Structure 1
């Protein structure tokens, strides 16, 4: 474990990747909603990876607008709260689509809850075709079912799309043994096995998402989405991140 940059060369050649972006990442330094500058930065980073010839798809959360679990804990019926959270992810997806198209990146939004006026319904083969044509596909509304997080939706879509890796963009540059914002001595893991993440409850993603990635042998890269250019950098095997995969 080290705070130095991770070097895991030779870097694998990824042909298709899925980036999971939390709703909180879209807030930037705000307390609520969308930070246009942060949305634009993420769009530029996605565009830079797409320019490398890598197929890119995204799953976006909605916690910057509405967090179903928190509201359910406050007394709202869980399924209704989760559906409201799914609608929040659609707002974020449309914001990302707009930012990507402003830099001439062809984009499609597909939603797990049909809403044909604003986006396509999720159809796996259509999504694959979009990526084959060089379009970035944004998957919104989670899995379309309550009680499942957008982390689980990311692992599910990565499996369905045949992605080589699932990336989770967070506020910190990997997985630590303690909260690095509270403990300056926290150490970053460079590699972790799926079972270590599950048994130690490290909070990389929820257990359903980790288990699904493990079952389908999809590595998970955890990195900081806040640092411009980090998305392309970690795909080359450089920069700071944590790699989660089966132990060699």
Structure 2
């Protein structure tokens, strides 16, 4: 079996409230096991609480002293946090991964036969968008969004308990749910930039609870899994 996936792993799973060492090790074990079966999974990791804490701290430091501080300048802190999180998985993967963290989404971000691990790239987008842009660059048609909810819902299930999860939706349905405009700090299951690229490139996206690695592995192997398929 030869197949490639791009995994977008939420920083809430890797580094909230602090570095989740055992979880990172289990992710690495899964990725190595899949690689040995001929399935290569490249990973884009979010910032989680460290990103939010440093962005808030930067704003607090600037208050009253630097009124010209921009959202983009704050985003730079968040991007650095994602790359710190990426270093954790890179350490756990060792020889199985490219031992450098790409800073942009081009075909050169991937080395033959090795797992790529990266974080954010530029201000103004989430790591959801980075993962989908990486998939576009390497012509990968399978993206997994490993988040902290079981799948896609019409509204935030944490604020609207009892809503049914949507098991399969179209790209247009996803865009209808998440909208078309990205704003810093917005909370959607997939950011609008990523949703648009998924549609344009006809990329299949699977949304699932990233804390359940057994379920994620089933999804990657093409077995029955719990989550949402966007196609």
TM over 0.5: yes
State the match for 1:135 in structure 2.
114
Does 2:93 match 1:100? yes
In structure 2, how many angstroms separate the alpha carbons of the residues matched to 1:93 and 1:167?
17
CA drift at 1:54 = 1.2
State the match for 1:18 in structure 2.
6
Pair 1:14–1:219, CA change in 2 (3 A): farther
| Greater fraction helix | 2
In structure 2, how many angstroms separate the alpha carbons of the residues matched to 1:54 and 1:147?
31
- More contact order relative to length (CA 8 Å, sep ≥ 6): 1
Residues 119-153 of structure 1: per-residue CA shift (max 9 Å, x gap)? xxx5734434x2x3x2110122x23x211221111
In structure 1, how many angstroms separate the alpha carbons of the residues matched to 2:165 and 2:107?
38
DSSP-derived class of the 2:99 partner: strand
Structure 2 unaligned blocks of 5 or more: 64-68, 180-187
Does 2:111 match 1:124? no
State the match for 2:73 in structure 1.
80
Structure 1 unaligned blocks of 5 or more: 1-12, 113-121
In structure 1, how many angstroms separate the alpha carbons of the residues matched to 2:214 and 2:191?
26
Pair 1:149–1:68, CA change in 2 (3 A): farther
CA drift at 1:180 = 4.0
One of 167, 174, 178 as aligned partner of 1:201 = 178
DSSP-derived class of the 2:96 partner: coil
Query: Normalized against structure 1, the TM-score is what?
Result: 0.76
DSSP-derived class of the 2:144 partner: strand
Does 2:222 match 1:243? no
Please, what is the CA RMSD of the aligned residues?
A: 2.6
State the match for 1:5 in structure 2.
none
Pair 1:109–1:221, CA change in 2 (3 A): farther
Correspondence 1:134-173 to 2 at 5 A = 134-140=113-119, 142-143=120-121, 145-173=122-150
Pair 1:230–1:49, CA change in 2 (3 A): farther
CA drift at 1:177 = 3.5
DSSP-derived class of the 1:110 partner: coil
1:45, 1:232 within 8 Å by CA — same for their partners in 2?
Answer: yes
Does 2:102 match 1:111? yes
